[in-house]
Structure 1
C-alpha cells in the first residue's frame, strides 16, 4: 500500500486490498473513502468487500465514485462532508490516487490558498498544476 499524505489529516493512495485495512486503522485513520467505481474493479477490490473490512476494523467507509464522466459539485460536496465529519484522519483511494487528490483539491478551493493546494498535491506526488485555473475560479466564487 502506497499511502501519500496530502495534509496532516488527509491521505490518498492507489487501489487498496481488504488486507490493508488493519494497517490503516493502526496508522490512525478513522474513515476510508472509495473514489473508484466498482465497474473498474473485480472481486476483492469491490467497495462492498472493502466496506466489510473497514467495519471489522472499526473504520467508517464512504463510497463516492468519481467516474470518467467527471467530477460534479455534488461529488465534491459529498467528499468534503465525508472529510469534515470524520472523527480523525481520512484515507481515500482510487486507481492511482489522482482522483482522490483532485476531488480534495476542488473541495478546498476558497478555504486553502491555491498555491498551497497545488504544493500539497505535489508533495504527495500528484501534479495539480493543470487544475490551477479551476481552483482559482472556485476560490473567487467562494469568497
Structure 2
C-alpha cells in the first residue's frame, strides 16, 4: 500500500506544481475601481466568461499586430456583440502612453456604460492609462 500512495503523492505534487506555474502565467483580472477592471491576455473562452460577469463595455489596448497576441479585436468584438457589449479599440504600444492616449481614454471612460473591462497583454498599460487619467482628474466617477 505504501507504493501506490507514494505514486499518488508524486502525481499530486506534479499536478500542483504544473497548476502553480500556469497560475503564475495566467492573467487574473484586477478591479481598479468599482467601474473598471483590467485584464491581461485572454482567449475566447475566458473573454466569454468575463462578459457574463456583467461588463457593459470593453476597451482593448493591445495592438492586434503585437507579438504573441492570440485573439484579434475583431474576434473580441464578435463575441461581445452577442452579449450586447460595445468594444472600443484603442491600441497603445507597450511603454509608449502619450497624453493624447490619456485624453482619448478619458473620453471613452466618461461616455461608455459601466462597468468597463480593459484588455492588454498583462494589464499593465491599461492600468497605467487609467491611473494617469485618474491622477489628472480627467475621469468622472
TM-score by length of 1: 0.70
Map of 1:103 onto structure 2 = 129
1:79 deviates by: 1.2
| 2:38 counterpart SS class | strand
The farther-off stretch of 95-104 and 78-87 is 78-87
Distance 1:55 1:3 in 2: 21
Whether contact under 8 Å (1:17, 1:50) holds in the other structure is no
1:19 deviates by: 2.1
Map of 2:78 onto structure 1 = 52
Across the aligned residues of Structure 1 and Structure 2, the Cα RMSD in angstroms comes to 2.0
Distance 1:56 1:43 in 2: 22
1:69 deviates by: 6.1
In structure 2, list runs of 5 or more residues that go unmatched: 1-26
The farther-off stretch of 74-83 and 100-109 is 74-83
Whether contact under 8 Å (1:35, 1:100) holds in the other structure is yes
Distance 1:49 1:22 in 2: 11
Count of residue pairs the alignment pairs up = 112
Whether contact under 8 Å (2:38, 2:118) holds in the other structure is yes
Q: Which runs of 4+ in 1 moved over 3 A?
A: 41-44
1:65 matched to 2:86? The reply is no
Map of 1:76 onto structure 2 = 102
Larger-Rg structure: 2
1:43 deviates by: 7.5
The farther-off stretch of 59-68 and 20-29 is 20-29
Whether contact under 8 Å (1:51, 1:61) holds in the other structure is yes
1:39 matched to 2:65? The reply is yes
